């Protein structure tokens, strides 16, 4: 967005009705990676520590460079761009999970990422993982008890026998992915962010999860979707942000941006 | 920067910060105030207990003997130390075997509680970055949950200790009840220490490599395996005040509380007022200090 003349004139009527839920103001995100460039030997490393120099083994990756946008209530926004363009990183910063180097993200309520994978433990039964995952997302014990059956039914884990009482490491990769999605999708969110969650499980489960995401969209204020599947972006989003090398290339209505993106990528 | 803006989007007339303030939006990922942080943590108490119990259960779930290892591991540990320090080196300061074994086992178990809390604390953030980067929860939940896991582990060990102590003729008296407040104070101390090292370890992953050596030194300096005072009194080159200093160190303090509570010898009789004062002091200073120190970096833990 061009920096408009800084007038203090009364707001356009349009802006009064539209409630912003996420505002990203010139967001920069830098990752520090240890052991990226291993040059030199132990004595060199020791010398650096003694002289308090910043280690040459710490490499900085500037993943997002100055992204600015405002998302409003009721919007579904797609994020597109090639691998490593900073889409997932940007989502994490919006969720407040990654600190920004410069710039600020303002949000209404607590945006959350759809995903509990990291909190689940393969050695535990599916049953215990449902409870653990729910608690990790901030649900209360009562809420989990209420929704437990729904989660299990939705995942379809028990369709082929009593699998929910077996450790998760015994599940097939598809079954585990289905259970993870079911747990993650059981919670209501103000601002929901989905990172490539639609490609989970078999055809039947994919249809079910797309329907669940549409439901979540209705309940949530704003939805962000990262996907490489142009079809699912087109069917779920009304606005698209195109990121490339951490910079915002284009921000506009889905069809317009997708056309430009497809021309660029030659699809 | 963008070639097209949203067709219906109004031109930006006000700075974004002002727009955010007008609609009551808050900065994402900002550190909450200390009271708010405590409230958030309290709201997540069920997650903390569930996480620690899940970790404990997952620990031995692949082993054939399963949860039996919860008891077998500390028992084997104590046996190894008994062979080396009790039988081969005879570093028992004139104690009889019946007194030495409960003394040793209590020391090993209580020290292991602190040791493993610190070790899992160091890795509690850096080893769970996936979770930190995907989910919202007060990050202090992690070091606290890991300390809680160690406390539950210790309770299994205490069953073994009680059996051994009774087996060598030290029968339960009312002082055994003092085990509970002693372990509670030690848990607070351990959780504080785990939070300190969680922050250090999240910034400098090398801490995980260094800590085993520091902890082993601490163990030998705290009289886990041999009676500290007797060893120093036998040794002419070490001044006697060194014994006072070493006995004030938290590892020795919490060990002695358990020994005073359980072992029935002239050496460990009565209720040691000074040791209890030290125990309370260490728990408050490290527990609160560690919590505040950890909270100060709350918003930075996602970056690894």
**What are the DSSP calls for chain B, one per residue?**
--S---TTPPP--S-HHHHHHHTT-EETTPPPPHHHHHHHHHHTHHHHHHHHHHHHHHHTTTSSSGGGHHHHHHHHHHHHHIIIIIIIS--STT--HHHHHHHHHHHHHHHHHHHHHHHHHHHHHHTTHHHHHH--S-TTHHHHHHHHHHHHHHHHHHHHHHHHHHHTT----GGGGGHHHHHHHHHHHHHHHHHHHHHHHHH-TTHHHHHHHHHHHHHHHTTSSS-HHHHHHH-SSS-THHHHHHHHSHHHHHHHHHHHHH--SGGG-S--HHHHHHHHHHHHHHHHHHHHHHHTTGGGTT--
Q: For residue B30, name the pLDDT band (cuts at 50, 70, 90).
A: confident
Higher pLDDT, B302 or A228: A228
A118 CB within 8 Å of a chain B CB: yes
Interface ipTM? 0.79
- Assess B266–A contact: CB distance below 8 Å, yes or no: no
B29·A97 Cβ contact <8 A = yes
Residue-level pLDDT at B214:
93
- Average pLDDT for A86-90: 87
Task: Tell if the pTM clears 0.95, that is, is over it.
Answer: no
Torsion angle defined by CA atoms of residues B218, B139, A200 and A124, in that order, rounded to the nearest 10 degrees: 50
Alpha helices in A123-195 (DSSP H): 126-136, 141-155, 173-184
- d(CA A250, nearest CA chain B) in Å: 5
Query: Which of chain B's residues have a Cβ under 8 Å away from the Cβ of A115?
Result: 134
Residue B114 to residues A12, A45, A60, A173, A250: CA-CA distances in angstroms?
62, 31, 36, 38, 54
- Is A100 within 8 Å of chain B by CB? yes
Do residues B11 and A4 make contact, with C-beta atoms less than 8 angstroms apart? yes
Contact B248, B278 (CB under 8 A): yes
Per-residue b or e along A171-187, where b marks 16 or more CB atoms closer than 10 Å to that residue's CB: beeebbbbbbbbbbbbb
**CB count, 10 Å around CB of B140?**
27
Residue B266 lies in a domain: yes
Write out the residue range of the structural domain in which residue B63 sits. 32-300
Between strands A191-195 and A112-113, the pairing is parallel
Instruction: Name, of A86-90, B127-131, B291-295, the range with top average pLDDT.
Output: B291-295
Q: How far is it, in rounded angstroms, from Cα A95 to Cα A112? A: 6
A223 burial type by CB count under 10 A (0-12 exposed, 13-18 middle, 19+ buried): buried
Domain A18-113+227-265's class?
A: alpha beta
pLDDT reading at A54 higher than 80: no
For B135, which of A32, A99, A137 is closest by C-beta distance?
Answer: A137
CB atoms within 10 A of CB A26: 13
- The C-alpha torsion from B103 through B109 and B110 to B116, rounded to 10°, is 150
Structural domains of chain B, count: 1
Residue of B74, B227, B228, B87 whose CA lies nearest to B162 = B74
Mean pLDDT of A171-197: 82
Q: Is the pLDDT of residue B193 over 90?
A: yes
Residue A155, C-beta contacts closer than 8 angstroms, at least 6 positions apart: A175, A178, A179, A181, A182, A183
The more confidently predicted of residues A94 and B94 is: A94
In a domain, B21, yes or no: no
Report the half-sphere exposure of B170 (CA within 13 A, side-chain side). Answer: 28
Q: What is the pLDDT of residue A11?
A: 46
For residue B8, tell me if it sits in a domain: no
What pLDDT, on a 0 to 100 scale, did the predictor assign at position B280?
95
Of A4, A124, A239, the CB nearest to B54: A124
The pLDDT, as a whole number, for residue A117 is 76
Q: Residues of chain B with pLDDT > 70: what percent?
A: 94
Work out the minimum CA distance from B204 to partner chain A, whole angstroms.
10
Buried b (16+ CB within 10 A) or exposed e, B20-33: beeeebebbbeeee
Residue of chain B minimizing CA distance to A133: B47
pLDDT greater than 90 at residue B78: no
């Amino acid at each position: 967005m061009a920096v408009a003349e800084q007038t203090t004139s009364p707001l356009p009527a349009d802006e009064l009705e539209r409630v912003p839920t996420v505002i990203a103001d010139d967001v920069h995100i830098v990752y520090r990676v240890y052991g990226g460039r291993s040059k030199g030997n132990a004595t060199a490393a020791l010398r650096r520590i003694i002289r308090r120099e910043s280690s040459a083994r710490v490499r900085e990756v500037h993943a997002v460079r100055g992204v600015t946008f405002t998302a409003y209530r009721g919007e579904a926004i797609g994020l597109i761009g090639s691998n490593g363009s900073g889409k997932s990183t940007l989502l994490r910063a919006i969720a407040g999970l990654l600190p920004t180097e410069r710039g600020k993200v303002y949000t209404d309520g607590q945006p959350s990422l759809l995903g509990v994978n990291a909190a689940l433990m393969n050695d535990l039964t599916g049953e215990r993982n449902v409870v653990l995952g729910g608690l990790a997302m901030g649900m209360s014990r009562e809420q989990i008890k209420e929704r437990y059956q729904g989660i299990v039914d939705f995942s379809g884990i028990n369709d082929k026998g009593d699998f929910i009482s077996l450790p998760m490491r015994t599940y097939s990769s598809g079954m585990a992915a289905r259970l993870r999605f079911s747990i993650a999708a059981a919670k209501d969110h103000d601002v929901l962010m989905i990172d490539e969650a639609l490609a989970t499980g078999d055809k039947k489960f994919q249809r079910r999860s797309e329907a669940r995401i549409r439901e979540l969209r209705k309940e949530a204020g704003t939805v962000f979707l990262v996907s490489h599947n142009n079809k699912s972006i087109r069917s779920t989003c009304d606005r698209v942000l195109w990121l490339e090398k951490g910079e915002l290339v284009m921000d506009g209505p889905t069809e317009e941006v997708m056309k430009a993106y497809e021309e660029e990528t030659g699809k | 920067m963008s070639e097209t803006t949203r067709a219906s989007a109004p031109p930006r007339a006000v700075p974004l910060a002002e727009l955010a303030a007008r609609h009551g939006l808050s900065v994402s990922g900002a550190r909450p105030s200390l009271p708010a942080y405590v409230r958030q943590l309290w709201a997540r108490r069920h997650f903390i207990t569930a996480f620690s119990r899940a970790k404990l259960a997952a620990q031995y779930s692949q082993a054939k003997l399963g949860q039996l290892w919860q008891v077998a591991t500390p028992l084997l540990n104590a046996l190894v130390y008994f062979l080396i320090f009790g039988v081969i080196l005879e570093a028992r300061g004139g104690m009889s075997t019946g007194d030495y074994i409960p003394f040793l086992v209590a020391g090993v178990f209580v020290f292991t509680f602190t040791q493993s809390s610190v070790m899992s604390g160091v890795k509690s953030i850096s080893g769970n970055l996936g979770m930190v980067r995907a989910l919202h929860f007060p990050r202090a939940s992690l070091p606290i949950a890991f300390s809680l896991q160690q406390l539950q582990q210790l309770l299994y060990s205490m069953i073994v200790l009680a059996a051994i102590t009774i087996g060598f003729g030290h029968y339960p008296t009312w002082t055994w009840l003092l085990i509970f407040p002693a372990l509670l104070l030690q848990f607070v101390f351990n959780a504080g220490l785990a939070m300190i090292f969680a922050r250090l370890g999240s910034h400098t992953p090398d801490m995980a490599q260094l800590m085993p050596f520091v902890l082993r030194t601490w163990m030998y300096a705290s009289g886990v395996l041999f009676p500290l005072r007797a060893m120093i009194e036998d040794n002419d080159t070490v001044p006697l005040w060194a014994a006072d200093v070493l006995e004030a160190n938290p590892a020795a303090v919490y060990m002695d509380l358990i020994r005073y509570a359980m072992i029935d010898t002239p050496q460990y009789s009565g209720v040691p007022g000074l040791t209890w004062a030290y125990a309370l002091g260490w728990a408050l200073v490290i527990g609160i200090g560690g919590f505040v120190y950890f909270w100060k970096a709350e918003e930075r833990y996602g970056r690894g």
